[in-house]
Amino acid sequence: MPKFSNAGQMCVAPDYVLVHDSVRGKFISAIREVVKEFYGDKPEQNYNYGKIINEKQFDRIRNYLSNGNIVMGGRTDKQQLFIEPTVLEGVSMDDAVMKDEIFGPVLPVISFKNKEEALKVIGHHPNPLAFYVFTGSNTKEKDWLNSVAFGGGCVNNASWHLTNHHLPFGGRGFSGTGNYHGKYSFDTFSHKKAIMKTPTWFDPAIKYPPLKGRLKLFKWVIR
């Protein structure tokens, strides 16, 4: 799963998961099964599971393990720069793991009962770089995508929108400015000069005083 690709060290890796309370237990069980299938019982020995880039980042990420309750994973080995794929529950919005960009294999899971509760959580960090919706309902898909402002995202997937060069990649607000990939990159780093040219033979009097009584005509001209 994308959260644990490169040991979570991707800017578009999910920082947390919002899951409806009715399926929270099934979701946790599914994560356990998938992580075991992908990386085995000892991810530190698995070729497909990455290590943390350096000791500074290792210490930072390991500190998040004291937030909330560990319901999966949690093992670490500083000598190997290894942090096991870890799932947390019971985190507070005041915990560091919910304030920072995690950039590591630690996934807080937050359950919600209704859409308003979920949007309140998202509202703590508005304009995320990425947003991922998992649903089989076209109605819910459109509702969620239209309810949250974000840079880019996926439906029933995560992180892979970054790999599609046909899609502009970028954020909004504090998550980034502009779009990248192909021509989008060229446009982002280019300044387009807007120029309006008026011919010398045409100089309508409507531009000049007196202007009283000309508003309707002026609106029609510039429409």
Instruction: Please spell the DSSP secondary structure of 27-70, one letter per residue.
Output: HHHHHHHHHHHHH-S-GGG-TTS---S-HHHHHHHHHGGGSSEE
Burial class (CB in 10 A: 0-12, 13-18, 19+), 204: exposed
Instruction: Quote the pLDDT of residue 175.
Output: 67
The residue ranges of every structural domain in the chain are 2-125
pLDDT of residue 103: 96
Q: What's the whole-model pTM score?
A: 0.80
Report pLDDT for 192.
Answer: 80
Q: What is the pLDDT of residue 194?
A: 78
| pLDDT given at position 216 | 82
Closest C-alpha among 5, 106, 1, 10 to residue 58: 106
State the architecture of 2-125 in CATH terms. Answer: 3-Layer(aba) Sandwich (3.40)
Q: Specify the pLDDT at position 191.
A: 77
| Chain-centre distance for alpha carbon 50 | 21
Per-residue pLDDT tens listing for the chain (223 residues): 789 999 999 999 999 999 999 999 999 999 999 999 999 999 999 999 999 999 999 999 999 999 999 999 999 999 999 999 999 999 999 999 999 999 999 999 999 999 999 999 999 999 999 999 999 999 999 999 999 999 999 999 999 998 888 888 888 877 677 777 888 888 878 878 777 777 888 887 777 787 788 788 877 877 7
